Homo-oligomer: A and B are copies of this chain.
């Protein structure tokens, strides 16, 4: 006789296998598929997603959840995550789900044209529809999960931290930035400016280097590939990770740091607890925690003085051009007030997120009308960074998220950056030789520590619980401030 818990494990494993198939097909669509395959691929992905949803929302799962008697902490956490997934899959009326999908798809299409024309008015009605349907869903989900509506959205991306937690942290960062940014700019202006030699930096050399560095950071190519796509990402499955990048022969730095960013994500996936593979508790703990793992590699380790001193001669040799640590630092650690989030440096990036975090809460609650979004964006941007976007394309139209129906995602970026700093501080304390290892190009102590304190925990704990177990405290922005102070204000 299988128990209710065992049946649940089997059912969720089958759902996970379908999601694995979707992940591989999604990677293929971005990295391999000829254009003509797009329509058929859309059908394949929709069918797999539909089946996964059908299996998840089945009454048998509801019954087994009632009857399940988990025997260990991990099993209990697993059942908790299963229950939440089941509620999310069943709480919303089918009409609302379908209307949301349709509205999101329609709005995204209009947004693509509107962004090109910097014409917010063109997409305003479609966005209003998306916001209104998302509000309705958030209320229903919040009630079912006993969460505030915005928290019900936020927790689908990252469990274990609330909007109230994030608000306090972001408000404190706002004050820090007000003081730190002009100081960092002044120090930067006063510094000597050594430049990287001009390109070309051949793609083949960049790719070989990227492979070598990803492997030295711990990526197992027996279970991974590195390919190209228009938008770099980390996809695939834990035993078959697919990371992508794009190359610019004028600038080696973006592909190289991009690959190491995706490598951070990949290490998390590769080191998830194999004993709970294909179970909710065996997955990563959330998007903010995932971002902390990409950023601890890319921002904390790779951009450290120690590692850059190791990297410079490797680059010099590979490209046959003199690349010095100061020139590398100038390229990789440059602070600048700018309009576009994805191009922002690590000091100003949180301001971009903070603005969106506040605005999306206001949109969801109805405190901010969609019609007033451009003005609110520009005012908020001016208040945070002292500059006003010249147009909405560089303002409230720049990101796909809201237009696609994704509200509650943005805070993950900055919570992840802050968690990365906190984890790095704890790792440095636990591993006194950490920087000496990085100066030798050796990531092993760091990645072993992360595997033990983060990756191997899967989703058995929430965001703040993992941080508390690993570092002794919940998310504390002081570590991120200390990191930025050391790097930009010293």
Contacts and interface: CB of A to CB of B under 8 A. Distances in A.
Nearest to A31: B32
Interface residues of A, number: 33
Contacts of A34: 221-225, 240
Chain A interface mostly: helix
A35 B222 contact: yes
A144 to B, nearest CB: 29
Which of A17, A25, A48 has the most chain B CB atoms inside 10 A of its CB? A17
Q: How many copies does the complex hold?
A: 2
A245 interface: no
Nearest to A46: B17
A18 B47 contact: yes
A51 interface: yes
Interface string A28-60: 100011111101110110011001000000000
A21 interface: yes
Contacts of A183: none
A220 interface: yes
Contacts of A35: 222
A338 interface: no
A21 B37 contact: no
A51 B55 CA distance: 12
B17 A21 contact: no
A44 B20 contact: yes
A39 B25 CA distance: 17
Given A25-B21, A25-B24, A225-B32, A239 B39 contact: yes
Interface string A215-256: 000001111110000000000111110000000000000000
Given A28-B28, A51-B51, A17 B36 contact: no
7 contacts: A17-B43, A21-B25, A21-B44, A24-B24, A36-B222, A36-B224, A41-B240
